[in-house]
Structure 1
Amino acid sequence: MKRVKIFLIIITIIINGQLAFAIDNGFDYALFKKIEANLMCTDGCGMYLKACSNNTAEEMRKLIKKLLIEGKSEKDIYAYMINIYGEEVMAAPPVSSSFNILAWVTPFLGLLAGALIIYIALDKWVFNKRAKKEPDIEIDEITKAEFDPLLDEEIKKHF
């Protein structure tokens, strides 16, 4: 019975600790996680802030928590982070800028254009030559008449 009580006390402490961590001075933990997933670490490691565990990432997380506690909205936090670190802090480019959209779409358009050029070149050089290939020498009726007796002779020799 004593073990059950100890077990229940431990479970209660764990649950209360998780609730306290989720509330953590009144900021929205789900929003924190969303913001963290949309930002990149700025120390040059190239990792998402969510996955990075170095000092720079920890400082960025503290800054996000501080801004959330102050009551800043998600857009305000993104704007603040872009103001400090530049647009490269965002994991995906903002849709508001047409240059960013163009920068993301252009490589795919380039690949499609290259594939189309290769297909047209192959079609012109390889596939059409096979379809249009004609015999080099045309056999007319006179030539055929000359070779028919020779062909009959050869057939008689071997059969």
Structure 2
Amino acid sequence: MKPKSVKFIFLPALLLFSTALHAFSARDIEEQIMCICKDNCGKVLVNCTCDTSTVYRKEISAMIAEGKTQKEIIDHYLARFGEKVLAAPTKKGFNLAAWIIPFLAIFAGGWGINKIVQSWVGKRKAKIITEGQKEEAAKAGDSVENQYKKLMEEELKELD
């Protein structure tokens, strides 16, 4: 391969990937930052309409114009306000619990409901007349209907 053809292939690829790395908008950053205003609106900056959010938007646009990266801008706000400025907790350390615990709670709740339903079904199955009991009732001269009536009476007594 000739050196010119190598340049011809790699130069566009380099330009393509370098723009992809730096391609972000102010909106991308606003979606990751909470509005820290005196009203404590608790909204993500992109959705907030208060006066303070306008100031932050201008700051973000100015930082982008200066050539700062998305990480540098977010780090600036982290240093200024702390982790409360982030729209989502970081996935490190104790904050990892905020990502894991909801899924564990859902799993544990489902498991608990499953166990409760199994115990209810197990108790109910114990009272259902089996085929062997039907045969015994037939030999004793007792009909299956009478056995079910007895079972129903027992259950009604338990409810009283």
TM-score normalised to structure 1 length? 0.61
For 1:4-153, list aligned pairs within 5 A: 30-43=24-37, 44-95=40-91, 97-124=92-119, 126-133=120-127, 144=141
Query: Per the alignment, do residues 50 and 134 of structure 1 end up closer, same or farther by CA in structure 2, a change over 3 Å counting?
Result: closer
- What SS does structure 1 have at the residue aligned with 2:45? coil
Deviations 1:54-112 (A, max 9, x none): 111112112212222222211111111011111121122223x1322221220221122
Cα deviation, residue 118, structure 1: 2.0
Q: 1: CA distance between counterparts of 2:41 and 2:125? A: 55
Q: 2: CA distance between counterparts of 1:130 and 1:62? A: 67
TM-score normalised to structure 2 length? 0.60
Q: Which amino acid aligns with 1:128?
A: G
Ranges in structure 1 where 5+ consecutive residues have no aligned partner:
1-27, 148-159
Deviations 1:109-130 (A, max 9, x none): 1122022112202211x10122
Q: Which amino acid aligns with 1:31?
A: S
Q: Which amino acid aligns with 1:129?
A: K
Q: 2: CA distance between counterparts of 1:104 and 1:123? A: 30
- Divergent runs of 4+, >3 A: 138-141
Q: 2: CA distance between counterparts of 1:131 and 1:29? A: 64
Ranges in structure 2 where 5+ consecutive residues have no aligned partner:
1-21, 143-160
Aligned identity (percent) is 32
Deviations 1:120-152 (A, max 9, x none): 02211x10122222569x7595x54xx8xxxxx
Q: Which amino acid aligns with 1:112?
A: F
RMSD of equivalent CA atoms: 2.7
Q: How many residues align?
A: 115
